[in-house]
Amino acid sequence: MSVLDNKKISFIGGGNMAQALISGLVSCGVKPSLITVADPSSEARAQLAAKGLNTVDPTADAKAAVIDADIVVLAVKPQVMKAVVSSFADVLDKQLVISVAAGLSTELLSDMLGGYDNIVRAMPNTPAMIQMGATGLYGTDNISAEQKQLATVVMEASGLVMWVDNEEHMHAVTAVSGSAPAYMFYFIESMVDGAVALGLDKEQASALAMQTMLGAAKMAMNSEDAPAELRRKVTSPNGTTQAAVESMQANDIGGQIVEAMQACYDRSQALSEEMSK
């Protein structure tokens, strides 16, 4: 028996991230009939209804999506969050609210919800769309152990979940996972360009680079060795791998990655501060 059995889940917003989470939940056995999506697009509602989900036009009656829900997932853009939630904040009672909006602190979300604070803040990433995501979670002091478990199971439907105890650490989560798929794509892009420059065609280069990235990640996840030790084991003295690693070290690629993550962290903090004004 799952903690989600017979729990009603409402999504405010039916965009890509909401659909990714919904797909994961349905794949894990949640009945589509227990899921409601509030989205202003009639086309989006029709597509979701065709999958057996309940849909609501929030411009007509946003409260209908929330009043009977056990879990409410806020999946709209941060810039419109206040306007959206103001239409149903007064009917929140014991619902668990999960926000996937970047940059909005739990304090700010609580203010938008008229002081309601059964809130979990989530920072997922785009691989959630294929149930391979990584999500950081932070909950207010008002969250019960049961609600924490509910939030965990909801987000685990799309991948790995990691809780942080300090909300400031959500900026670090953004740097290491939330924004990080773009780093991986950039690295793959560079590997493909390098392989093409060395004579392979783009199709060959792409296939080899992507499979190598996937294989290396799976090896790291399944190994008891730390990444540094795995690197050492595949780096033969005076070999080809050593030549490549020494070139990266000479150009301080590791330091540049750390600097890039710091830039991401700083921008996440700045956006959060801007949202609070």
Domain boundaries, the chain: 9-167, 180-270
Please name the helix (run of DSSP H) or strand (run of DSSP E) that holds residue 218, with its range, or none.
helix 202-222
Task: Specify the pLDDT at position 1.
Answer: 47
Place of tokens 């409402």: 10
Task: Specify the pLDDT at position 103.
Answer: 87
Residues contacting residue 27 through CB under 8 Å, at least 6 positions apart? 131, 157
User: How do 35-38 and 96-99 pair as beta strands?
Assistant: unpaired
Q: Pick the closest to residue 138 from 175, 103, 106, 96 (CA basis).
A: 106
Q: At what angle do helices 253-276 and 240-250 cross, to 10 degrees?
A: 50
Which class is domain 180-270? mainly alpha
34 CB-side CA count, 13 A: 13
Let me know: does 112 contact 78? Beta carbons within 8 Å. Answer: no
Task: Specify the pLDDT at position 201.
Answer: 97
Q: Report mean pLDDT in 10-residue bins for the chain, 277 residues.
A: 86 93 92 95 94 93 93 94 93 95 93 96 94 96 94 95 97 96 97 98 98 97 97 96 97 97 95 84
Task: Specify the pLDDT at position 2.
Answer: 78
Q: Which residue type occupies 105?
A: S
- Note the pTM of the prediction, 2 decimals: 0.92
Task: Specify the pLDDT at position 81.
Answer: 94
Backbone angles phi, psi at 81, to 5 degrees: -55, -45
Would you say the C-alpha torsion 243, 246, 248, 251 has a positive or negative sign? negative
Which class is domain 9-167? alpha beta
CA separation, residue 2 to residues 9, 30, 51, 196, 225 (Å): 14, 9, 22, 49, 33
Exposure string over 173-186, b if 16+ CB within 10 A, otherwise e: bbbbbbbbbeeeee
